Amino acid sequence: MPYYLKMKKLTKLCNYRRKIRENIRNLRKSLTVLDQRIASMKVSKIAFNFNFFCNSKNIALFIPFDGELDTYPLILRLWLNNYKTFVPVIKSRRNKKMIFVRFSCNSILYRNKYNILEPFYESKDIISDLYLDIIIVPLVAFDQKGSRLGMGGGFYDFFLMNWCKKKFFIMGLAYDFQYIRNIPTKSWDVPLPIVLTPNNIWIFKNM
């Protein structure tokens, strides 16, 4: 394929992905506080009713940002059931480096330069991915194959590269309306094996 056609195709792909992000982010932000609360409680209940955390100890998940599904009801349940929770901290945007640090009821949060909440931490709070059992990831959209569209930073795609060869398991968390039939993917996109929504458990063949 000639170079100019490749660039035209790539531009079209990027524009389509950008449009998906814009539309779904607007939908998320349009939800009322009550809608958000009901959805987050449903997902928390589903996660525990189906024993997704059995035989696990260290659970990594995210602090909600930009209208993402609220993880706090799930985090509270995890704490009440003696699980240890960890959340991401961005170390380098240029190198797409992200680490996970301990998050507890005593953690003090601040907003980083991207306006994302992160906990203050010490070196002892950092956990290696060798000791994580489950990583629950945020997303903007997912499709019928489990393809995940994130915010565009690439942090999770970089961190989760070759995840199936590691110890931990991954799953996505989203609203039902974040499902679309087909997401145009790029080579570095990491598909998900499971996505939990308030009304569904989506299981894909990405194990």
For the chain, how many structural domains are there in total?
1
Residue 204's contacts (CB-CB under 8 Å, 6 or more residues apart) are 145, 146, 191, 192, 193, 194, 195
Which range marks the domain in which residue 143 is found? 3-203
Q: Summarize pLDDT for 182-197 with one digit per residue, the tens.
A: 998 877 788 899 999 9
CATH number at residue 190: 3.40.50.10420
Rounded CA-CA distance 181/176 in Å is: 12
pLDDT of res. 31: 96
The annotation places the binding site at 63, 68, 148-156
The annotation places the binding site for substrate at 63, 68
State the 10-residue block means of pLDDT for the chain, 207 residues long. 46 76 94 96 93 92 95 96 96 84 96 93 94 95 93 82 76 96 84 95 83
pLDDT of res. 11: 53
Q: pTM (2 decimals)?
A: 0.88
pLDDT of res. 7: 45
The annotation places the binding site for ATP at 148-156
Hey, what amino acid is at 33?
V
- Tell me the DSSP string of 67-78: TPPP-HHHHHHH
